[in-house]
């Protein structure tokens, strides 16, 4: 396969959901705020330094979540009780032309070390933090206030062997087992590799389809894939894109597709028939799996019901490209990447499902264009329930030059456009979620005399403000 001259295709996919956000950086720790949403008691955790949080790891011994921030070129910790965010290493060297922190490849003291788009982390029993330093094609370690290179980083490539000669291509995620063996999603090489305690690097699974995230649990590795099969002549059943895999250990001689792989999209129900859109985060809790389904902007759960594996969507409010996920002391935390924040969703065992999975056989989100211009959102996205597309009321009305008013006494939304208006309550079809009002798009648009077209192949809604 021909290599690209600069960033690889997978790395472009991983970065395509990123917000360009300039922040002011301190030298010690971030100013942090946490606020509760009006729906489902979500805690929204953010800090000045947090730009693009990604891979997360629950360090139970130290009561913290460690996470990588690819645009901040840094690694942070989050205290799961106080929500205090602290910088651990990287990202303290000023801003680049795009307003984001400078990245690089420098070992040394934590406050002097540099990373390049780190995407994944894991913590060893000693407290050493292992980092998938994606842009540097390296595996790094943070321990006792110092950053060192564990393996790779000499150049991009695909080479097993000792730590000094091993090569990776855009490693994106890290997992560790009870023996401190390190497992790596070597994404552009379409492989899972491991590093044993003496530093030797070996490939344990190959011919995958751009593996992005990995977690160890129950003597197995669980992996999300996001790319397309590229190995000619390989068995397509072992190369399913947009899927969730299980790799039993220690031999790793079998790969089981638990969910997805039938095509990119959004579908709940039987896990074997489920569809995902660039799943980029995974966590195992008991017998359940939690998935950050990045392209669909939702959190999914795979669990057993009636002897069958089921995939469903958790009712957690709106996300914007979630890429990291962990359960810590029974609480679900999600890296809401493009909103530059962490969401804490409370007791995960009490989370409701958003919809009946048997009825959800269509994509769960849609891109909306009004007169050829894509609709933009600030803190909530459209979603689909039972075949009906719901859109944030204010975002849609303001995009067409209209207005929206919330009438608290009636718990109603008054939608205005030109000389027309329509008042909607929940009984009329609006949906109130996470403090936002969502309106049924086709109903409202056609009431205002607009043409509405659904393009199934691209999951797109096209609105023409004047009918042809």
What pLDDT, in 10s, does the model give residues 117-150? 999 999 999 999 999 999 999 999 999 999 999 9
3-state SS track over 274-340: CECCCEEEEEEECCEEEEEEHHHCEEEEEEEECCEEEEEEECCCCCCCEEEEEEECCEEEEEEHHHC
Asked if omega into 250 is within 30° of 0 (cis), the reply is yes
Candidate ranges 186-200, 299-313, 348-362, 413-427; pick with highest mean pLDDT:
186-200
**What pLDDT shows up at residue 416?**
93
Give the pLDDT of residue 72.
94
Q: Which of 37-41, 226-230, 387-391 has the lowest mean pLDDT?
A: 37-41
Higher pLDDT, 31 or 51: 51
- pLDDT at 201 > cutoff 90: yes
Beta carbons within 10 angstroms of residue 88's beta carbon: 23
Model pTM score: 0.71
Q: Using CA atoms, how far apart are residues 169 and 3, in angstroms rounded to an integer?
A: 11
From residue 413, give the alpha-carbon distance in Å to each of 213, 386, 402.
Answer: 41, 22, 13
Angle at 81 between CA 79 and CA 82, to 5 degrees: 70
User: What pLDDT, on a 0 to 100 scale, did the predictor assign at position 402?
Assistant: 92
pLDDT in tens, 63-81: 999 999 999 999 999 999 9
pLDDT digits (tens, 9 = 90+) for 145-196: 999 999 999 799 999 999 999 999 999 999 999 999 999 999 999 999 999 9
CA distance 237 to 446: 44
Strands 451-455 and 460-464: what pairing?
antiparallel
R_g (Cα) of the chain, nearest Å: 22
The whole-number average pLDDT for the span 370-399 is 79
For residues 67 and 230, what is the distance between their CA atoms, to the nearest angstrom?
A: 30
CB 447 within 8 A of CB 454: no
Span 223-238, mean pLDDT? Answer: 58
Nearest 5 degrees, angle CA 61-CA 62-CA 67?
A: 110
Instruction: Please check the confidence at residue 4 and state whether its pLDDT lies above 60.
Output: no
pLDDT class of 10 with cuts at 50, 70, 90? very low
Task: Place 108 in a pLDDT band, splitting at 50, 70 and 90.
Answer: very high
pLDDT tens-digit map of 236-266: 444 467 899 999 998 888 899 999 887 778 8
pLDDT at 238: 41
């Amino acid at each position: 396969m021909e290599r690209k001259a600069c960033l690889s295709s997978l790395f472009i996919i991983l970065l395509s959901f990123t917000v360009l956000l300039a922040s002011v950086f301190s030298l010690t720790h971030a100013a942090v705020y946490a606020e509760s949403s009006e729906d489902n008691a979500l805690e929204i955790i953010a800090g000045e330094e947090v730009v693009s949080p990604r891979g997360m790891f629950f360090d139970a011994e130290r009561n913290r979540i460690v996470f990588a921030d690819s645009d901040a070129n840094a690694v942070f910790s989050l205290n799961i009780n106080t929500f205090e965010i602290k910088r651990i290493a990287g990202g303290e060297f000023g801003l680049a032309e795009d307003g984001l922190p400078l990245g690089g490849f420098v070992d040394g003291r934590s406050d002097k070390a540099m990373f390049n788009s780190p995407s994944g982390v894991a913590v060893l029993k000693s407290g050493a933090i292992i980092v998938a330093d994606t842009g540097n094609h390296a595996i790094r370690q943070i321990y006792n206030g110092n950053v060192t290179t564990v393996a790779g980083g000499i150049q991009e490539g695909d080479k097993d062997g000792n730590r000094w000669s091993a090569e990776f291509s855009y490693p994106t995620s890290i997992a560790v087992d009870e023996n401190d063996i390190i497992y790596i999603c070597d994404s552009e090489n379409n492989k899972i590799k491991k590093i044993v305690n003496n530093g030797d690097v070996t490939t344990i699974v190959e011919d995958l389809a751009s593996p992005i995230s990995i977690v160890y649990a129950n003597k197995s590795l669980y992996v999300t894939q996001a790319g397309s099969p590229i190995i000619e002549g390989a068995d397509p059943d072992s190369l399913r894109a947009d899927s969730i895999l299980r790799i039993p250990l220690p031999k790793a001689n079998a790969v089981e597709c638990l969910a997805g792989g039938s095509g990119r999209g959004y579908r709940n129900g039987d896990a074997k028939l489920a569809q995902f859109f660039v799943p980029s985060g995974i966590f195992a809790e008991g017998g359940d799996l939690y998935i950050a389904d990045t392209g669909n902007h939702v959190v999914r759960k795979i669990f057993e019901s009636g002897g069958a594996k089921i995939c469903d969507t958790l009712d957690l409010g709106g996300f914007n490209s979630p890429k990291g996920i962990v359960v810590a002391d029974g609480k679900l935390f999600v890296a809401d990447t493009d909103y530059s924040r962490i969401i804490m969703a409370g007791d995960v065992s009490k989370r409701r499902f958003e919809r009946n999975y048997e009825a959800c056989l269509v994509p769960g989100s849609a891109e909306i264009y009004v007169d050829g211009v894509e609709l933009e959102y600030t803190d909530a996205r459209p979603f689909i329930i039972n075949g009906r597309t719901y859109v944030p009321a204010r975002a849609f009305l303001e995009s067409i030059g209209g207005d929206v008013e919330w009438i608290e006494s009636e718990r109603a939304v008054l939608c205005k456009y030109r000389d027309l208006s329509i008042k909607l309550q929940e009984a009329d079809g609006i949906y109130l979620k996470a403090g936002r009002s969502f309106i049924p798009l086709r109903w409202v648009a056609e009431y205002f005399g607009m043409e509405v077209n659904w393009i199934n192949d691209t999951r797109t809604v096209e609105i023409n403000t004047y009918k042809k």
